Amino acid sequence: MMMRRFYCTAGAGMEDLLADEVKHKLAATEVEQIPGRVFFCSNAHLHTVTQLKSAERLFLLLRKAAPISIPNNPAKAAVVVQQSIVGHADMWKQNVLTWTTLQGELHDRQHRGQKRKREEEDILNLDATATNSLSSNIQLGKDPPSFRVSCRCSGVIARSYTSQRLSRIIGMAIKEKLGWKVDLREPKLEVNVYLSDDHCIVGMPLLKHPLASRHYMKHNGLRSTIAWAMTSLCPKQLIDCVILDPMCGVGAVLLEAAQDCSSAVFLGMDIEISQLQKAAENVKAAGIEGRVHLIQCSAMEIPLNDGAVDAVLCDVPFGRKFSCSTDMATALPLLLKEMERVLRVGGHLVLLLSLQLSAQLKKIICKHNQHANSSDTQRVRTDPTNANNECTDTPENLMRYKSSSETPILITSLQAHKTHKVSLGSTDAFIHTFTKVQPEMCSH
């Protein structure tokens, strides 16, 4: 199969994870990353490419070039756009044919009898008839396709031009050069252009919806790419094990973990029955009812024996929904102690924590554990619309667990690994990873 050139957008800091994922899952070559984007070549079937978990959107790459300077004069700007962005008509013809071939791969998979959910069907840009018709018309040079341009710009260019104005200039240049028809509502093709002080990138989206929009998430919680990252950052692969999320909310972390840990059993706990009901609907939509067990309880009193689970993955509340930051800082030592109790020696703990709770964590663990690697910090960003944490342990529930003693709780059995910085919109946070060891090992 022919090599095709793709790129994906990614949250800031997710680029390394995405680059590793395309190499591992797609045997990709010529992998290159810049802030917010990863470029690669692959001959994998498009359906396989659409299974990437760390990417936001998927594009066929048309052009990746050095930055351009666009004059303020409209006539001169149009000439520069024609030369530097639009270029030769043959390049567009060949890439549109590649695009239609890729669309056909998705339809062929469906026709071979592999059932596709309705949500997955909706991600196709064209139906099979329209795709074949477009391909034939391109080859015969008749009935030009409709299109629209979506442009994003930053840096020097953004000081002189808005994205909307640049979209119009580029759209007019494509119309004049290629003879395509502008259709802003329901175009057959979409052209995406990204202009910055460092890059000029032109691509065509292959799917209508982002890869990050999981079809099995009926109720949204933590951004799916960040939930997946929590699993992928685990020190060791989780196989044939029991995984616990003691503050599961609607189950975003569990569902992402379940995609990669096919042989694991999952336990999701939350104190709010309404959250567990939404989690149950998500689990059903994902078709993993037999592997996920949901229990109503508090994370302060986990109804499991000591060392009962192999991994704990937890998005600890930031206090944004219930204004409980102070209470969470007070409760964190007890939360950690309970998570550590049910975790077996050799098991792994992955936590998503706010900056405040991360600072508190150092007082509980890192003061007596010098294995933390603070230099391996990476930046990860996600959609600000998903900044609220899922778990619903309210301040009232947490207040009753405040310690009556001034003696601090210190945990010496958790060996720290890498810490990854996360930005959830306007809120910063960290993903912390630990392995449980014998307490005496942490004193060396």
Q: What is the 3-state secondary structure (H, E, C) of 48-83?
A: HHCCCCCCCEEEEEEEEECCCCCCCCHHHHHHHHHH
Q: Any idea what DSSP says for residue 373?
A: B
Taking the CB of residue 248, how many other CB atoms lie within 10 A of it? 30
- Structural domains present in the chain: 56-205 (3.30.2300.10), 224-443 (3.40.50.150)
> Tokens for 19?
């680059």
List of residues 6+ apart from 310 with CB closer than 8 A: 238, 241, 242, 243, 264, 343, 344, 347, 348
Residue 243 φ/ψ, nearest 5 degrees: -115, 130
Q: Which residues does residue 34 pair with via DSSP β-bridges, in sequence order?
A: 37
Residue 262 DSSP symbol = T
The DSSP letter of residue 145 is: P
* Beta sheet of 57-65, edge-to-edge order: 29-34, 37-42, 4-9, 57-65, 200-205, 189-195, 146-153, 181-182
Q: How far is CA 59 from the centre of its chain?
A: 16
- Given a contact cutoff of 8 angstroms between Cβ atoms, the answer to whether 78 and 169 are in contact is yes
Q: Which residues pair with 204 in a beta bridge?
A: 60
Residue 261 phi/psi, 5-degree rounding, is -110, 75
pLDDT in 10s for each residue of the chain, 444 residues: 688 999 999 988 789 999 999 999 999 999 999 999 999 999 999 999 999 999 999 999 999 999 999 998 888 999 999 999 999 999 999 999 999 999 888 776 655 544 444 444 444 444 444 555 555 555 445 678 999 999 999 999 999 999 999 999 999 999 999 999 999 999 999 999 999 999 999 999 999 889 999 988 899 889 899 999 999 998 877 888 999 999 999 999 999 999 888 889 999 999 999 999 999 999 999 999 989 999 999 999 999 999 999 999 999 987 554 344 447 788 888 999 999 999 999 999 999 998 888 888 888 875 444 444 444 444 444 444 444 445 444 444 443 444 444 456 677 889 998 898 877 767 878 999 999 998 765 544
Burial class (CB in 10 A: 0-12, 13-18, 19+), 11: buried
Question: How far apart are the two ends of the chain, measured CA to CA in Å?
Answer: 54
Amino acid at position 352, single letter: L
